[in-house]
Amino acid sequence: MNTSTNYLINSEELMSLGYTPGRAFGIALRVAHKHEHLGKEVLLAQLADVLATPEAYLTDAVCSKLAAALIDEASIPEDAYIPLRDAGADYAIYGESHIEAGARTQMAVAMQLPVTVAGALMPDAHQGYGLPIGGVLAVENAVIPYGVGVDIGCRMALSIYDIPKAFFETNQAQFKRELIAQTRFGAGHGFKPDERADHAVLTDAAFGMNPFVADLKDKAWAQLGTSGGGNHFVEFGIIEFAEGDPALGVPAGTYVALLSHSGSRGLGATLAGHYTKLAKELCRLPYEAQNLAYLGLDSEAGQEYWQAMTLAGDYASANHEVIHRKMAAALGAEVLAKVENHHNFAWKEQWNGQEVIVHRKGATPAGKDVLGIIPGSMTAPGFLVRGKGETASINSASHGAGRQMSRTQAIKTISHETMRAQLKQHGVTLVGAGLDEAPMAYKDIHTVMAAQTDLVAVLATFTPRLVRMADDGSRED
């Protein structure tokens, strides 16, 4: 994904040929990279010629796609693009010193959209696609598919069991068995036909909203109750309430709890891809803002996306419900309390006396007295929090610690021995996961929490003990 590494022909050279940033520009860079064996001079001459007469290259084995993109771009008049504002409004940043520059650049562009009302960057923010992860954007009467993200409705769910810590510690083998038996991980994975779960979401009329969505229902059913890959997990841990919480109905004390993190699987990903593509066709923005293409809420496409997003959110919730339902039944556990919050979604909310659409892409809703879960890492605590309703953060907080290292960097620099030692030191048993999910790849959650004391108050601390994540190819054992 990192396209900036040692290309024979770089962006500046392309620009000196007369290429301008856009889709064709990216294709030209890739063509040049793929055919480096031709040598720099030959490539530069060829790229200049394609730019001058793209029509002559429409059937060329190497440059046909580049030629088509150039013709396509030239056919769009300058004034077909929706202009950005010259200067974007200011936005609040929490924990700025730990946020990478790329995330701030993306947020600055988002602030220039003509529909933008307000924005904020959470302390776990990092660069994403369109809106940064950890970005919050309030807009007027529009929705941005990539402001929600690919994993629509991705969320945290916590079940607090009436099980003492001591019982967990003497029966860990049983908890581990059930963790493996009741959960499914891995990209593309679902349940076999005779293992499929049932849930009311499968009867949601929104599955019939159009043939495209209807086609996704069978896979959604197979994946109901699964967790997927990446940073998703299901884990047992110990949750400590220093004080009782009357609203939740949990007295002060220490309990065993189940915490899950996952989203809407293939269903949400397919819907996100489909509606982002549609938004890009209907909302032509300048190159740097193209991934922020928006749909008017009053438009047919906007209403369709909203309905699809709502379905994906309900489906993501059902996924967690199935996991938690199965686990409680398998353990014979009584659930004292449940907390759930999504952190990739768009909401209709009041902000500063005005109705806005708030996009939270990797940000926890933190309106006044709203409960949320902010996970740390597999060896660092997560927190059950209560929102303070801070206007400047648009009633939001971070959705975790955030990455300190990229996946590739983590795989390169962290050893299996180091990771094993870290897990052992914290008394954590891990099933699955690769080095890219090593705890050292994440920021210090305490630093992140310290940056958002104005946004949330901590109600309880959750310490992971038995963690399951997707297997990954880099594992050696």
Q: Which residues are catalytic?
A: 399
Residue 377 C-beta: closest distance to DNA, Å: 12
88 binds DNA (CB under 7 A): no
Q: State the DSSP H helix or E strand holding residue 337, giving kind and residue range, or none if neither.
A: strand 335-342
Strand ranges, E, within 249-322:
253-262, 295-296
Determine phi and psi for 248, rounding to 5 degrees. Answer: -80, -20
Is residue 135 part of an annotated ligand binding site?
no
Stretch that binds DNA, among 101-109, 110-118, 150-158, 235-243 (CB under 7 A): 150-158
Is residue 402 part of an annotated ligand binding site?
yes
Shorter beta-carbon distance to DNA: residue 168 or 185? 185
Residue 154 C-beta: closest distance to DNA, Å: 7
Which x/- pattern over 52-71 shows residues binding DNA (rule: CB under 7 A)?
-------------x------
Residue 26 C-beta: closest distance to DNA, Å: 6
Residue 344 C-beta: closest distance to DNA, Å: 9
3-state per-residue secondary structure call for the chain: CCCCCCCCCCHHHHHHHCCCCCHHHHHHHHHHHHCHHHCHHHHHHHHHHHHHCHHHHCCCCCCHHHHHHHHHHHCCCHHHCCCCCCCCCCCEECCHHHCCHHHHHHHHHHHCCCCEEEEEEEEEEECCCCCCEEEEEEECCEECHHHHCCCCCCEEEEEEECCCHHHHHHCHHHHHHHHHHHCCECCCCCCCHHHCCCCHHHHCHHHHCCHHHHCCHHHHHHCCCCCECCCCEEEEEEEEECCCECCCCECCEEEEEEEEEECCHHHHHHHHHHHHHHHHHHCCCCHHHHHHCCEECCCHHHHHHHHHHHHHHHHHHHHHHHHHHHHHHHHCCCEEEEEEEECEEEEEEEECCEEEEEEEECEEECCCCCEEEECCECCECEEEEEECCCCCCCCEEECCCCECCCHHHHHHHCCHHHHHHHHHHCCCEEECCCHHHCHHHECCHHHHHHCCCCCEEEEEEEEEEEEECCCCCCCCC
116 binds DNA (CB under 7 A): no
Is residue 141 part of an annotated ligand binding site?
no
**Residues of span 189-208 touching DNA by CB under 7 A:** 189
Is residue 151 part of an annotated ligand binding site?
yes
Is residue 10 part of an annotated ligand binding site?
no
Shorter beta-carbon distance to DNA: residue 36 or 162? 36
Those residues whose C-beta lies under 8 Å from the C-beta of residue 402, and which sit 6 or more positions away, are 98, 123, 124, 125, 126, 133, 134, 442, 443, 448
Shorter beta-carbon distance to DNA: residue 27 or 71? 27
Those residues whose C-beta lies under 8 Å from the C-beta of residue 99, and which sit 6 or more positions away, are 93, 121, 123, 125, 126, 134
Shorter beta-carbon distance to DNA: residue 66 or 118? 66
CA 443 to chain centre: 17
Q: Which of 54, 95, 225, 266 binds DNA (CB under 7 A)?
A: 266
Is residue 190 part of an annotated ligand binding site?
no
Is residue 199 part of an annotated ligand binding site?
no
262 binds DNA (CB under 7 A): yes
Is residue 33 part of an annotated ligand binding site?
no
Q: Which of 22, 88, 164, 186 binds DNA (CB under 7 A)?
A: 186
Stretch that binds DNA, among 23-31, 35-43, 80-88, 160-168 (CB under 7 A): 23-31
Stretch that binds DNA, among 137-145, 148-156, 174-182, 383-391 (CB under 7 A): 148-156
Residue 269 C-beta: closest distance to DNA, Å: 4
Q: Count the site residues for DNA by CB under 7 A.
A: 25
Is residue 401 part of an annotated ligand binding site?
yes
Amino acid at 33: H
Is residue 126 part of an annotated ligand binding site?
no
21 binds DNA (CB under 7 A): no
Q: Which two tokens stand for residue 227?
A: 């967790």
183 binds DNA (CB under 7 A): no
Residue 34 C-beta: closest distance to DNA, Å: 8
Shorter beta-carbon distance to DNA: residue 211 or 473? 473
219 binds DNA (CB under 7 A): yes
**Residues of span 221-260 touching DNA by CB under 7 A:** 223, 227-232
**Residues pairing with 382 in the sheet:** 462
265 binds DNA (CB under 7 A): yes
Residue 194 C-beta: closest distance to DNA, Å: 19
Q: How far, in Å, CA of 70 to CA of 22, rounded?
A: 9
35 binds DNA (CB under 7 A): no
Is residue 416 part of an annotated ligand binding site?
no
Q: Which of 7, 11, 22, 30 binds DNA (CB under 7 A)?
A: 30
Q: Which of 153, 263, 402, 464 binds DNA (CB under 7 A)?
A: 263
Residues near DNA (CB under 7 A) are 26-27, 30, 65, 150-151, 154, 186-189, 219, 223, 227-232, 262-263, 265-266, 269, 470
Binding region for Mn(2+):
151, 232, 261, 343
Binding region:
151, 231-235, 261, 343-344, 375-378, 399-402
Binding region for GMP:
231-235, 343-344, 375-378, 399-402
